[in-house]
Structure 1
Amino acid sequence: MKTDKNLTVHDVARVAGVSIKTVSRVLNNDPTVRDKNKEKVLSAVAVTGYRPDLNARRLRTGQSYLICLLYFDYVSNSYSSRLVSGAIEVCDDFGFDLMVRPVKDRKSLAEQVRNIAARSNPDGYILTPPMSDDKDVIAVIEEENKSVIKILPMELDDISCVNCDIVAGVREAVNHLLTLGHRRVAILNFFKVRGGLLRYQGYEEAHRQFGLPIDSTLQIDGPMESDEDYERAIRQMLSGEDRPTAFFTFNDYLATLVYKVASQMKLRIPYDLSVIGYDDDPSSKNLWPPLSTVHQPVVNLGRAAAGKLIQQQILKQTYNHSEDLKCRYIQRSSCGPLL
C-alpha cells in the first residue's frame, strides 16, 4: 500500500471493488449512488486513509469548497458561536470549509463582502440577523453570482431562508407569567428587526389570550449604545410607582442586566420581580436563580443554513430537512407568582 500522501482514487476503487467513477460520485456526495456501493467506498476510504486533493478538486470543478458565515460581533455573542458549531458539522459532512467573519463596522459592510469575494471566492454565504435583511450585502452576493442563505430575514421563502417559530416560544413564556398573576409585564426588545417583531407578536398574543391591553409604557426599545444605557432604562422603569412585576427580554444577555439592576435596587428575583430571557444561552442556567428562557434551536439553525446552502444551492441536490427548529419555553427558577 502506498503512503497516505500518494494515495489516489484508483487505490480506493481497487480496495472497494468499484469503479473510479463510483468513488468520485461518493466523494462528491452524489445522492443517486446505491447505499451498498457508498458503504464500500467509505469503508475503503477509512481503511486506506485516503484524503482528496482539494486543490485538484477546486481546479476540476471551479469551486472553492468554502462557504462564508457573516455575523455582527458584540459582547457575549454565544448565539453566533453556536450557529458556527452547527454549520461546521454540515460542512465537514460535505467536504466544505467554513470561513467565519465577525463584523464590527456596519457602515462599510457591502464593501467588506466584496473584498471577501475577491480574496477568498466562497461558493456561498450564510447571513445572520440583522445582516440577512441588508439589501446592499445581498446585492453584492448576487453580483458575484454566489448562493446565499438568510437566517430569520423579514421576508421568507423556502429556497434561500431558514426560520424558527419565535412567536410560539415567546407566547408560551409570557403566558406563564400571566398565569402566575402578573399583569404588568415589561418587554425589553429590538422592535426594528424581524426577530424583535416576532417576539413582540408572541408577547401581544399572550396578552390577547388573557384579554389584557398592551401598555406602551412597559416597552424598552433597543439596541442601545452601551450596557449603561440599558441599565438606566431598566432602573427608571423599576423606580416608578406602578413598576412592572415581570420582565421579558430580547435575549439572555439583556436579562442579566435586569438581574444586575434588580440586585442594586434590592429587588429579589423571583419574589419581587420575575424575569424571562430568550435564546437559552448555556450560561443562563448558571445565574442565580437560574434564568427561565425561551430555547431557540441555534445550533440547528446553523445546521439547516449550511445544509440548505451546500446541498440544495451549491451541489444542486435534494435538501432533506430534518432539523428540529421549534422554540420552547424552558422554565427554571426566575419566575414566581405575583405576591
Structure 2
Amino acid sequence: MKWVSYEAGEGVRTGVIDGESVRGLAAGTTLEALIEGGSLAEAGDDARHAPAEVRALDEVRLLAPLRRPPSVRDGLCFLEHLRNCYRALGRDGALHPVWSHSPTFYFANRDAIAGPYDDVPIAPGSTMFDLELEVGAVIGRGGRDLHPDRAEEHIVGYTLFNDWTARDHQVVDLTQGIGQAKGKDCAITLGPALVTVDELEPYRRDGRLAFELSATVNGEELTRGTLDQMDWTFGQLLAYASRGTELTPGAVIGSGTVPRGCLLEHVDTPDPADFTRWLQPGDVVSLRGEGLGETRQTVTKGIDVIPLGPPRVVR
C-alpha cells in the first residue's frame, strides 16, 4: 500500500492511493498513530473496502506522510558518496578505517519535515545550499539491540528523503566538533507516500531492494543509482542504531546520499564557495524512486540572518 497524508480543504486526512484516487480514513486518523498502534494493515483494509471518503488524486495536496515522526536519524551508508565529497574538496578520497567499523548517523530535526511538493526556503544566511537524494526507512515494530540479519523485519515501509543541507553552515558545525547543527536544520523532505515493504518486493534482487533512484535540478539529471549500492545495509544500520536504545514505531532512518546525489559531489572549483551550481531561489529539485514516486519542490529565498552579537564573557 501507498499511505499518504493529504489536505483537501477540510483538514489533514490519512489514506491510501488507489490508482488516480485517494481512499481516505476518518478525520483525525494519523499515520503516526496507526503505526504506533500496530493497526496499519487493518486500517488499509478499511480504506480499501469502506473508506470515509474518496477523492481524485489531482484534487488533493499531498503532505509528508509522517508529518512529525517521533525521531529522525540520517545514516551514511553509501561510502562512495563520502569519497566523492572528499575528492571534490581536494582530498584523495581515501577513507579512514573507522568507516569500515560501523555505519554512522546523526539525529535530524523532526520539527523541520517538509511535504513532497512544498517550497523550501534556503537556510538563513546560506550561499551554499544543497540537496541530498536518499531513502527513508520507517520503523513499524519497535525494538532494541536488533540483530543485523533480522532488523529489516522491523521496517514497515520506505519513502523518499531529501536531506537539505547548508554546506557553508555545515563547515562551521564540523569545525565546532560536536555534530551536525545548523547545516542540517532547515528542512527534511519525506514523501510523496509511505510505501509498505510488501509493495516493493518486486524490486528485490539477491535479498536486497534494488529499485532505481534519481535526482534532477531544473530538469537536468544530477545522478541515477540503485538502493542496493548501499555499503551498509538498512539491517546493519538499524542494528547499530538500536544498540542499547529503543527504535520506536514511526521513527524514520535515512539511508545516506546516493553517490553523486548532492551538489557537493559535483564541485569543480578549488574553493567550494566559488562553485556556481549551489541552489538558488527558483530552482526546482525533484527526487524519483521506482515504486516510491516523485517529489518536486521549488527553492525560495530564505530570511535574513539576525545578528547574535558577541558572546558574554563570564569570569
TM-score (ref. length: structure 1)? 0.24
Greater CA radius of gyration, 1 or 2?
1
More helix by share: 1
More strand by share: 2
TM-score (ref. length: structure 2)? 0.25
